[in-house]
Amino acid sequence: PSVLDSFALLSGQLNTLNKVLKHEKTPLLRNQVIIPLVLSPDRDEEIMRQTEGRVPVFSHEVVPDHLRTKPDPEVEEQEKQLITDAARISPDVAQKQIQSLNKMCSNLLEKISKEERESESGGLRQNKQTFNPADTNALVAAVAFGKGLSNRRPPGSGGSVQSGQPGAGAIIAGASGLQQVPMSGAPAQQQPMLAGVQMAQAGQPGK
């Protein structure tokens, strides 16, 4: 009974509202202007919920856009101009333009798809490994630590040099060669000093 009473009350109120709206003295609602009474730059959770998160605030910036019923005057003029230009074109010319536009769009789509395929294939080529990590590690170990290198010396190396000092023969040979090369532009008294230094270094083959 309570539900039926409430339904009867609501039905009577709706009938009264319809009679008021259909009365000849009631102005048409479509001719009325909606005026916002409260504008706030703060975030409104109720508006967020009603607009499903599209309008966070109801401020002076968004009200003209959301309550507008007509486009901007500039847009309206452009739309009228486009309608006038479209009315001047004959159906045959319009069909040709449509076909040419469709052809251009299809060619553009083909180019875009081709570029995408080429970029994907290029990415696959770049990601492909072009070296062997084991060989790289072996080369680095050989250069840095001498790993895997042979201890044998080539024939013809100096026999008088001790085996623990392989670079002494080269140092002595370089020292004797430096003694006999005159230095251009250097004073004569500096040449014996250079020879003495080189002989002192040659006398200590381990340094």
Q: Tell me the one-letter amino acid at 56.
A: P
pLDDT value of residue 180: 45
**Average pLDDT in the 148-175 region?**
53
pLDDT top residue among 171 and 205: 205
pLDDT value of residue 189: 46
pLDDT value at 13 more than 90? yes
pLDDT value of residue 30: 75
DSSP class of residue 31? G
List, for residues 101-134, the tens digit of each pLDDT value: 999 999 999 999 999 888 887 766 666 667 788 8
58, β-bridge pairs = 40
Please count the residues of the chain.
Answer: 207
What secondary structure, in 3-state letters, does 117-181 show?
HHHHHHHHHHHCCCCCHHHHHHHHHHHHHCCCCCCCCCCCCCCCCCCCCCCHHHHHHHHHHHHCC
Tell me how far apart the alpha carbons of residues 149 and 69 are, in angstroms, rounded to a whole number. 87
Tell me how far apart the alpha carbons of residues 20 and 130 are, in angstroms, rounded to a whole number. 84
List, for residues 185-204, the tens digit of each pLDDT value: 444 444 444 444 444 444 45
pLDDT value of residue 84: 92
pLDDT value of residue 63: 84
